[in-house]
Amino acid sequence: MVSSTISELVADAKDGDHRAFEELVRQTYADTYTLAFRLTGDEEDARDVVQEAYLRVHKGLQRFRGDAQFSTWLHRITANCANTFLGRRVRHRHDELPAEPNIADVHPLRDPVQRGEIGDLRAQLTEALRSLPPKLSAVVVLRDIYDLPHEDIADELGISVSAAKVRLHRARKRLRERLYPFGDESGDQESHAM
């Protein structure tokens, strides 16, 4: 394929080049899947979200004006698909058998005790994120994992900057309450003793 940059692929795909669209998907899939996985916390759900996101991109590509980067547009579509998917999942929730976390360490520690503690903490954090409403978990993931500024989060989710800040504050508060129900992580329970 002659075109290699995202903007060239987008232009070619808008002109009806199916191979350009396939290459666009290939070049953006890893980042899109990672975002979907972080928003849903489940591999299968993430694949479903990514599939829906690319379907929406394909259908709406002609409306993409290029005012923002393609990746920003794609992330916004993915976040919206994840929110919709998680909303449906909450309405159809059922009890599942507990599963072991399947998250591999990028740089595994050599000490098995530390590796186990990190795995436990990661599982607790993943479960705490999954317990949040989708609109709150999306803000936490975009801010604390993707390190996006409030303005970009607001743009990604189609909300105001102040709403992004409020949601982030509420989400972090709920995560703290869930992860440390008796005070902070150092075991300080003075505020609860009074």
Domain shared by 5 and 87, yes or no: yes
- 22-66 pLDDT, tens digit per residue, is 999 999 999 999 999 988 888 999 999 999 999 999 999 988 887
DSSP per residue, 26-55: HHHHHHHHHHHHHHHS-HHHHHHHHHHHHH
- 81-119 pLDDT, tens digit per residue, is 988 888 776 554 444 444 544 444 444 455 666 666 676
Domain shared by 80 and 5, yes or no: yes
| 190 has pLDDT over 60 | no
Gap between the Cα atoms of 33 and 49, Å rounded: 8
Domain shared by 7 and 85, yes or no: yes
Cβ-in-10-Å burial (0-12, 13-18, 19+) of 30 comes to exposed
* 14 within domain boundaries: yes
Domain shared by 131 and 47, yes or no: no
Gap between the Cα atoms of 90 and 84, Å rounded: 10
| Confidence (pLDDT) at 64 | 87
- 117-160 pLDDT, tens digit per residue, is 676 777 788 788 888 888 888 898 888 888 888 988 888 888 99
Domain count, the chain: 2
What is the domain extent for residue 1?
Answer: 1-91
* 191 within domain boundaries: no
| pTM score, whole prediction | 0.58
Which residues neighbour 177 within 8 Å (Cβ) at sequence distance 6 or greater?
Answer: none
CATH number at residue 134: 1.10.10.10
CATH number at residue 87: 1.10.1740.10
| Confidence (pLDDT) at 89 | 63
Domain shared by 13 and 77, yes or no: yes
| Confidence (pLDDT) at 1 | 46
